[in-house]
Amino acid sequence: MENKKCRIAIFASGEGSNAEAIVSHFANHNAIEVALMVCNKEKAGVYTRMEKWGIPCHYIDKKEWQPGSTGQQVLDLMRNEGVDRIVLAGFLAYIPETIVHTYEGRIVNIHPSLLPKYGGKGMWGHHVHEAVIANREAVSGITIHHVTEKLDDGGIIFQAQCQVLPDETPESLATRIHQLEHEHYPRIIEQLGMMDV
């Protein structure tokens, strides 16, 4: 009998380029599969990207993503779908502590800066790149880290750097950061997922 694959749930809120890089990486993988995608927005680019690959999409509205929420709807979905690991890929909502605790050590995030720099409340997407450029940083990069109840604070698994060029714009920096993310995030998730099989 075939061994059970490690089943991943991707949580995303926006364009979903990381989500797609991950799905594409595991499309024919013998030990890891993307089971589903969860989104906290009714409309987002990530739906089209997931549908193209036949990944089931679940919209879960904002009531679930509040401090004090039991997270039960998400936890039931994860249990019913046999999800082993959660991967945040541009997911911009608060994650209830019950979910973080249930998946402790098995929930990771990617952040578009070299944490602990440019992390915390309000620091996401283009806000990060704007702040990096405004502060005339010479380098920026990406951080893949464990998720804890404290925002952008979990143990760092991997970082990669890129230069911030003299004529950099938030858009040009975002493009290079995305390239780094797509290159490394699927590979790191694979290393983590292989620990389960």
In the complex with ligand GAR, the residue whose CB is nearer, 5 or 37, is 37
Where would I find the beta strands (DSSP E) of the chain? Answer: 6-12, 32-39, 57-59, 85-88, 107-111, 139-146, 156-163
Q: At what angle are helices 170-193 and 125-134 packed, to 10 degrees?
A: 120
Is the Cβ of residue 17 or residue 69 nearer to ligand GAR in the bound state? 17
186 near ligand GAR, rule: CB under 6 A: no
CB 18, min distance to ligand GAR, A: 3
- Closest residue to ligand GAR in the complex (CB): 90
Q: Which range, of 11-19, 74-82, 160-168, 187-195, touches ligand GAR by CB under 6 A?
A: 11-19
Q: How far is CA 119 from the centre of its chain?
A: 15
Show contacts with ligand GAR in window 108-167 (CB under 6 A): 110-112, 124-125
To which residue do tokens 């944490």 refer? 115
Angle (deg, nearest 10), helices 17-25 and 45-52: 20
Binding residues vs ligand GAR (CB under 6 A):
12, 14-19, 89-90, 110-112, 124-125, 177-178, 181
